[in-house]
Chain A
Amino acid sequence: MSIEAAPRPAASRADSYLRAALRSPNFVIGAAITIVVLVAAVASFVWTPYYYAALDIPGRLKGPSGLHWFGTDQFGRDIFSMIMVGARTSIAVALVAVGVGVGVGVPLGLAAAARRDSLLDEAIMRANDLVFAFPALLIAVLITAVFGPGAVNSIIAIGIFNIPVFARLSRGAALSLWQRDFVLAARVAGKGQVRISLEHILPNILNTLVVQATIQFALGILADAGLSYVGLGAQPPTPSWGKMLAEAQTFIASAPHVAVAPGLAIVLTVLGLNLMGDGLRDIFDPVLRRSRQ
């Protein structure tokens, strides 16, 4: 048996991650954007410049000004306030959908890897392939056709789509770990497959999972925007970025600002998350980082 280097103490590892993080421009910029969006979403619970549903018909479709930073929409509602509240919806949908993907996909992937080439492995992977054949949009279409539209249904649709992503990723990452000496040692010590998966495999694939979760979070924001744009997502009066864009479309020639602000909010959020994901990947994988430079 070859001798493996003992893992570094957690404290020094965290310390070196932190130093690498601060050196990665991708991570710093991405994290900064993400924090701004998160703060806006959380702040909207206690403060928005105006009540997001307050109508002001005489002041409708006004361009950006000191009073209304992003202007007003066709009912005179303050667009900035609506974007703040909409952030909450988008983030909640995407976050829970990632939770569904991780919560179901990772255990499935770990189980498949633990029983490599068994019937269970085959069944899980084929089921994954099947789900993969249904793009998130089609799952949403099917669900809304039967249950009606709503934020919960878009969470389910995006969540189901996330499951095979995490199942495949964790299976692939876990397979190579099962060949490693420290896992063999744990087996010799009498630990069962579940314990090994939880105590030895999972901590070692956590980095990969975090990176993927960031990326799926970004994709979830995009998917939620698309679903609510076509009316399959959150329903009125809950504001959502996609629905704001759908309503803005009618006025795009006369009041383009109504369409610009929600779109930029989506782009900025997704960009921030993607940059953070790229940054995290570089931080967690110094070998890759060096080869890329």
Chain B
Amino acid sequence: MSTYVLGRLLSLVLSLVAASIVIFFVVEVVPGDPAQFMLGLNAQPDTLMALRDQLGLNQPLPLRYLGWVLGMLHGDFGTSYTYRVPVSELLTARLAVSLPLAIYALALTILIAFPAGIIAAARRNSKTDVVVMSTTQLGVAVPNFWFAMLLVLVFAVGLHWFSAGGFPGWDKGGLWLGLRALTLPAIALALPQASILARVMRSALLDTLGEDYIRSARAKGLTRRQTMWRHALRNALIPVLTIVGLQFSFLLAGAIIIENVFFLPGLGRLVFQGITQRDLIVVKSVVMLLVFAVILVNFLVDLSYALIDPRLRRQR
């Protein structure tokens, strides 16, 4: 068990190092002179010098990279060029919207997909199965931002149940108003993902239901329901969990589009403002943060395999 965890931990660190090198290279090496890039062609020489200094561009590349990474490890992401505040402050404020949104959406995804997938597999080829499969086929094809617009049209413009966008803030609005503002965005994010997950759940269950040990379980007198809950579901969870892990990263990254639909002050809006204002420091930090989240989630998924599948624990 511990060698398994150590192995995964090592690969986590290596992935992070590799990802940070890629991001550093794209943002700091490809544009040539990042300071010139950020300020545009008409920049004054002294402003250019000042920014070069601030970015540490006078240092050799490897030193700059090390400085960036060490800074991040201390929570120092540098200073945003347009906002003139530490990027870490911006990130914390924006994460307070993006992270709850992703978790909310993931919870909805699981809440919809698990029952739908289980029912479809248990009643294979029934009318319920057909309905679940066709609905999910449609759900997979719907772009989430378009679905978000339709939700706004119906529930905000038509029924006035929710506001069409904006975020009151956790302090001012409290938990209830905050969650309310995130509800339509979370539903929009969750529907296509739930469709995918329900289909994965169904096919993983059908695969395990065809195994010999399921037949043995039925032969020893367990009911259909008992075999489903005690044997099939647990074994079907491995592929399902893999997808859930991928989906969480997708929800976190995909939220940057949905945040634009609902004008939510999350990481997405931050990164797009960063792009239009050529604030490479902000863009670099947001991308690194999101990639870190993706890699971390994959690591956690790997660890959870060991919890679900005892064979992994004993073998390694």
| Secondary structure dominating the interface of B | helix
Assess whether A275 is interfacial by the CB under 8 Å rule.
yes
Assess whether A235 is interfacial by the CB under 8 Å rule.
no
> CB distance A230 to B257 under 8 Å?
yes
> CB distance A135 to B249 under 8 Å?
yes
Residue of A nearest to B296 (CB): A133
Given contacts A135-B294, A144-B275, A253-B153, contact A245 B145 (CB under 8 A): yes
Within 8 Å CB of A270, what residues of B?
Answer: 140-141, 143
> CB distance A263 to B138 under 8 Å?
no
Assess whether A31 is interfacial by the CB under 8 Å rule.
no
Q: Per-residue CB proximity of A242-253 to B under 8 Å, as 1/0? A: 100100110011
Distance of A130 Cα from B13 Cα, bound (Å): 12
For residue A241, give the distance in angstroms from its CB to the closest CB of chain B: 9
Within 8 Å CB of B291, what residues of A?
Answer: 133-134, 138
For residue A266, give the distance in angstroms from its CB to the closest CB of chain B: 5
> CB distance B253 to A133 under 8 Å?
no
**A contact residues, range:** 35 or more
> CB distance B150 to A263 under 8 Å?
yes
The B275-316 residues at the A interface (CB cut-off 8 A) are: 275, 278, 280, 283, 286-287, 290-291, 294-295, 298
Assess whether A256 is interfacial by the CB under 8 Å rule.
yes
> CB distance A145 to B275 under 8 Å?
yes
How many chain B residues touch A (CB < 8 A): the figure is 50
> CB distance B153 to A252 under 8 Å?
yes
For residue B306, give the distance in angstroms from its CB to the closest CB of chain A: 19
Given contacts A271-B137, A271-B141, contact A141 B249 (CB under 8 A): no
Assess whether B78 is interfacial by the CB under 8 Å rule.
no
Query: B27, B153, B272, B298: which contacts A146 (Cβ < 8 A)?
Result: B27
Which one, B15-23, B58-66, B167-175, is touching chain A? B15-23
Distance of A259 Cα from B266 Cα, bound (Å): 24
> CB distance B137 to A142 under 8 Å?
no
> CB distance B146 to A259 under 8 Å?
yes
> CB distance B143 to A142 under 8 Å?
no
The A137-156 residues at the B interface (CB cut-off 8 A) are: 137-138, 141-146
> CB distance A141 to B261 under 8 Å?
no
Assess whether B157 is interfacial by the CB under 8 Å rule.
yes
> CB distance B141 to A141 under 8 Å?
no
Distance of A293 Cα from B206 Cα, bound (Å): 11
Distance of A225 Cα from B142 Cα, bound (Å): 11
Distance of A256 Cα from B157 Cα, bound (Å): 11
Within 8 Å CB of B141, what residues of A?
Answer: 218, 222, 266-268, 270-271, 274
Assess whether B26 is interfacial by the CB under 8 Å rule.
yes
> CB distance B260 to A252 under 8 Å?
no
Residue of A nearest to B279 (CB): A145
For residue B68, give the distance in angstroms from its CB to the closest CB of chain A: 15
Distance of A142 Cα from B287 Cα, bound (Å): 8
Given contacts A137-B253, A222-B143, contact A145 B149 (CB under 8 A): no
Assess whether B190 is interfacial by the CB under 8 Å rule.
no
Assess whether B31 is interfacial by the CB under 8 Å rule.
yes
> CB distance A252 to B31 under 8 Å?
no
Query: B15, B18, B143, B275: which contacts A225 (Cβ < 8 A)?
Result: B143
Supply 15 further A-B pairs (C-beta < 8 A) apart from A259-B146, A266-B146.
A129-B15, A137-B253, A137-B257, A146-B37, A146-B280, A226-B144, A229-B145, A230-B272, A245-B149, A249-B261, A252-B152, A259-B149, A263-B146, A263-B150, A291-B210
Q: Which 9 A-B pairs have the closest CB atoms?
A: A270-B141, A263-B146, A271-B141, A135-B253, A145-B283, A253-B157, A267-B141, A133-B294, A145-B275
* Chain A interface residues toward B at CB < 8 A: 126, 129-130, 133-135, 137-138, 141-146, 218, 222, 225-226, 229-232, 242, 245, 248-249, 252-253, 256, 259, 262-263, 266-268, 270-271, 274-275, 291-293
Can you give 28 contacting A-B residue pairs, CB < 8 Å?
A130-B22, A134-B19, A134-B291, A135-B249, A135-B290, A137-B253, A141-B256, A141-B275, A141-B287, A145-B275, A146-B280, A226-B145, A230-B257, A230-B260, A230-B272, A245-B145, A245-B146, A252-B152, A259-B146, A259-B150, A259-B153, A263-B143, A263-B146, A263-B150, A267-B142, A270-B143, A274-B140, A275-B137
